[in-house]
């Protein structure tokens, strides 16, 4: 079982944050065997495909190099010119092959872990010079895996090389009986196919190494339960801080809600357990809106603020519970309550007229009907139909 520096067991899978941090530091799964296999195998195939081009170019170079004109014998700069021509032809011949190899090296290096760029990887780490840690790496599980891979590569590549030499021995001997140009082309083809045959053995090594590297990378990033807890605290905030933030948010929401109570047209009460404040502006609202609501102590505060600011308070237990449980703060009341609230607002809007002009005092509505699907019993749970 993997352990951290404090001896605690790493039993938990790495979190997304841990994986992201590791990637930012350049810690990704890499397989050198996959890299080597792709370069050698595909490079060998490219070599076979370009064997005709190589053979023709080499033949021309050999023919030009071994053919010396009489004037060149007495020219002291002739050999230098021939050397420069040979170098130019060689570079021209090998450039396509080198381009393919470089592209393969780039693709194979990022095929497993993807592209990462981290300055921390390039920074010198003097901890790597610690001989004790170096010995631990040598005798670790990864070190054992590297030893087994080396032995397997030696056996597989050695066996494939002997097999390739055994199969192509007669073809190589036959080259001595051929003319120069065909022999050079044939030799390039034989060397290329032999190289491909030998490189095929690396597929077995890569197939074993890639899953191991993925497993080992994830194993190294495993976390202890304490590390997971600490990360959650750092990511989501410590419980005491979160509690304080929620408390401040509730206080802010409460102050904001209480500031809306004086602007309400009416407060409907249970009369003691629930209180909801409604406001309606026919010019800007399509229906009455709940601007404040609360239970128990909050309901008492709403009633107190309403009384201080002259907001009409009406007792209607069924309507108060229906609005409280079926309407969120700052939302319009349900359509099923339109008729009951309309009767209530009609009464509220007539009160200022009575107070200023006199006349018959409007009667407080007592028959505010609530549809059955919106009724809430005294226990505070909506009725199920």
Identify the DSSP state of 380. Answer: S
Closest CA to 265 of 237, 289, 285, 248: 289
Q: Class for domain 260-374, per CATH?
A: alpha beta
Residues 6 or more apart from 271 whose CB is under 8 A from it? 315, 317
Number of DSSP helices (H) and strands (E) in the chain, helices first: 14, 4
Tokens of 213: 């590297």
Structure tokens at 82: 């021939």
Could you tell me if residue 269 is left (phi over 0), alpha (psi between -120 and 50 degrees) or otherwise beta? beta
pTM more than 0.85:
no
Q: What backbone phi and psi angles, to 5 degrees, belong to 376?
A: -125, 125
Strand residues in 167-300 grouped as ranges (E): 266-269, 274-279, 289-295
| 3-state secondary structure (DSSP) of residue 366 | coil
Q: What is the pLDDT of residue 223?
A: 79
For residues 316 and 375, give the distance between their C-alpha atoms in angstroms, rounded to a whole number.
12
Cα–Cα distance between 146 and 141 in angstroms, integer? Answer: 9
Asked whether 314 and 271 are in contact (CB, 8 A), the reply is: no
- In this prediction, residue 277 carries a pLDDT of 92
Name every residue whose Cβ is closer than 8 Å to that of residue 209 and which is 6 or more positions away in sequence. 31, 32, 33, 34, 145, 149
10 Å CB burial of residue 115 (0-12, 13-18, 19+) is exposed
Closest C-alpha to 319, from 262, 257, 376: 376
pLDDT of residue 276: 92
**Nearest to residue 54, comparing CAs of 95, 84, 83, 82?**
95
Please state, as a whole number, how many other Cβ atoms lie within 10 Å of the Cβ of residue 2: 14
Please spell the DSSP secondary structure of 65-93, one letter per residue.
HH---HHHHT-TTHHHHHHHHHHHHHHHH
- 347: nearest Cα among 371, 315, 377, 322: 315
Strand partners, 93: none
**Euclidean distance between the first and the last CA atom of the chain, given in angstroms as a whole number:** 57
Tens-level pLDDT at each residue, the chain (385 residues) = 455 555 567 777 777 777 777 777 767 777 788 888 888 888 878 877 776 777 677 777 776 667 777 777 777 787 788 788 888 888 888 888 888 888 888 887 777 766 665 555 555 555 555 566 655 655 666 677 778 878 888 888 888 888 888 888 888 788 788 877 677 777 777 877 887 888 888 888 888 888 887 888 788 788 777 777 777 766 655 666 667 777 777 788 788 888 888 888 889 988 778 899 999 888 888 889 998 998 888 889 988 988 888 888 888 888 888 888 888 888 998 888 888 888 888 888 888 877 777 767 777 887 788 888 888 776 554 544 3
Best CA proximity match to 297, nearest among 314, 312, 279, 275? 275
Q: What are phi and psi of 118, to 5 degrees?
A: -145, 130
Res 1: pLDDT = 47
Spatial separation of the C-alpha atoms in residues 100 and 106, rounded to whole Å:
10
H-state helical runs in 292-336: 297-308, 317-326
Would you kindly state where each structural domain of the chain is located, as residue ranges? 28-116+123-220, 260-374
Give the model's pLDDT for residue 384. 43
Chain center to CA of 101:
31
């Amino acid at each position: 079982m993997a352990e951290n520096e404090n001896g605690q067991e790493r039993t938990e899978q790495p979190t997304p944050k841990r994986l992201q941090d590791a990637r930012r530091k350049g810690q990704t799964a890499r397989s050198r065997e996959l890299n080597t296999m792709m370069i050698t195998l595909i490079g060998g195939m490219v070599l076979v495909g370009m064997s005709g081009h190589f053979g023709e170019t080499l033949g021309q170079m050999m023919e030009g190099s071994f053919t010396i004109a009489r004037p060149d014998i007495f020219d002291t700069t002739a050999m230098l010119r021939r050397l420069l021509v040979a170098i130019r032809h060689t570079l021209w011949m090998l450039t396509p092959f080198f381009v393919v190899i470089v592209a393969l090296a780039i693709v194979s290096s990022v095929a497993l872990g993807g592209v990462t760029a981290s300055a921390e990887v390039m920074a010198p780490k003097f901890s790597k010079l610690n001989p004790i840690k170096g010995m631990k790496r040598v005798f670790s599980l990864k070190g054992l895996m590297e030893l087994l891979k080396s032995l397997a590569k030696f056996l597989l590549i050695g066996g494939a090389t002997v097999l390739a030499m055994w199969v192509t021995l007669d073809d190589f001997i036959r080259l001595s009986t051929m003319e120069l140009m065909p022999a050079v082309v044939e030799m390039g083809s034989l060397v290329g196919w032999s190289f491909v045959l030998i490189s095929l053995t690396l597929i077995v090594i890569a197939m074993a190494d890639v899953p191991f590297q993925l497993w080992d990378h994830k194993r190294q990033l495993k976390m202890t339960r304490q590390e997971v807890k600490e990360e959650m605290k750092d990511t989501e905030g410590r419980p005491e801080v979160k509690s304080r933030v929620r408390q401040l948010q509730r206080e802010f929401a409460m102050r904001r809600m209480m500031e809306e109570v004086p602007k309400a047209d009416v407060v409907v009460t249970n009369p003691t357990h629930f209180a909801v404040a409604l406001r309606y502006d026919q010019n800007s609202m399509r229906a009455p809106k709940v601007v404040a609501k609360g239970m128990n102590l909050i309901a008492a505060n709403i009633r107190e603020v309403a009384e201080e600011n002259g907001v009409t308070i009406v007792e209607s237990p069924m309507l108060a519970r229906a609005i409280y449980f079926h309407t969120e703060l700052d939302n319009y009341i349900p359509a099923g309550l339109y008729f009951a609230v309309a009767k209530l607002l009609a009464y509220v809007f007539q009160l200022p007229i009575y107070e200023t002009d006199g006349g018959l005092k409007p009667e407080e509505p007592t028959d505010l009907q609530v549809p059955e699907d919106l009724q809430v019993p005294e226990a505070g749970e909506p009725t199920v139909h």
